[in-house]
């Protein structure tokens, strides 16, 4: 099994998971990774970070499982499950096979922030051993959606 490159699902500023205002993500309980503070563009598009099957798809979060079994979680904002899907537009369906870079969701991070929630987007290698994930960018960097974010050995 070769290294899997995980792409940035949104454009924004890189944060360490320790800076995510959620104890599950900040303690890396679901796996290692990074977070992105998304640029505040209306109807911002969120892309698949790897190719694979959409194992789970909710308006505020999705999991793409690569063909080799590794799965990447993208969570759009913190406590956004409380929005009940309002403000999110799905462009795929659970179970779909998607390509890396394919648009999965559109949303407006400003609307999330205006509602008093964090728009920060954790990107996590689900249940990955921490030593298997290498950061390809550093906290403080700015990335564009589709640029390499992590390498998963």
CATH no. for residue 94?
A: 2.70.70.10
Give the pLDDT mean for 54-59: 97
Of the residues 58, 66, 75, 91, only one is catalytic, namely 75
Res. 42 pLDDT band, cuts 50 70 90: confident
Residue 110 placed within a domain: yes
Average pLDDT over residues 46-50: 98
Note the residue count of the chain: 153
- The confidence score (pLDDT) of residue 41 equals 84
Q: How far apart are CA 147 and CA 129, in angstroms?
A: 23
The domain in which residue 26 lies consists of 17-130
Q: Is 130 helix (H, G, I), strand (E, B) or coil?
A: helix
* pLDDT over 90, % of the chain: 95
Domain membership of residue 2 (yes or no) is no
Residues facing residue 146 across a β-bridge:
none
Rounded to an integer, the average pLDDT of 86-113 is 96
* CA–CA separation, 143 and 153 (whole Å): 21
How many domains would you assign to the chain?
1
How far apart, in Å, are the Cα atoms of 94 and each of 17, 53, 61, 87? 26, 8, 11, 19
75 belongs to the catalytic site: yes
> pLDDT for 64-95, tens place per residue?
999 999 999 999 999 999 999 999 999 999 99
Provide the 3-class DSSP secondary structure of residue 24.
Answer: helix
Give this prediction's pTM. 0.97
Quick check: is 99 in a domain? yes
């Amino acid at each position: 099994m070769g290294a899997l490159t995980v792409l940035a699902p949104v454009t924004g500023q890189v944060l360490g998971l320790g800076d995510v205002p959620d104890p599950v993500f900040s303690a890396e309980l679901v796996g290692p990774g990074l977070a992105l503070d998304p640029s505040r563009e209306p109807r911002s598009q969120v892309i698949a970070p790897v190719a694979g099957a959409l194992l789970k798809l909710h308006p505020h979060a999705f999991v793409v499982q690569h063909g080799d079994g590794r799965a990447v979680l993208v969570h759009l904002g913190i406590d956004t499950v409380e929005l009940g899907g309002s403000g999110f537009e799905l462009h795929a369906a659970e179970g779909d096979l998607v390509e890396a870079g394919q648009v999965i969701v559109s949303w407006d991070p400003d609307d999330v922030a205006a509602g008093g929630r964090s728009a920060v987007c954790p990107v996590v290698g689900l249940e990955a051993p921490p030593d298997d994930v290498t950061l390809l960018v550093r906290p403080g960097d700015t990335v564009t959606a589709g640029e390499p974010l992590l390498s998963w050995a």
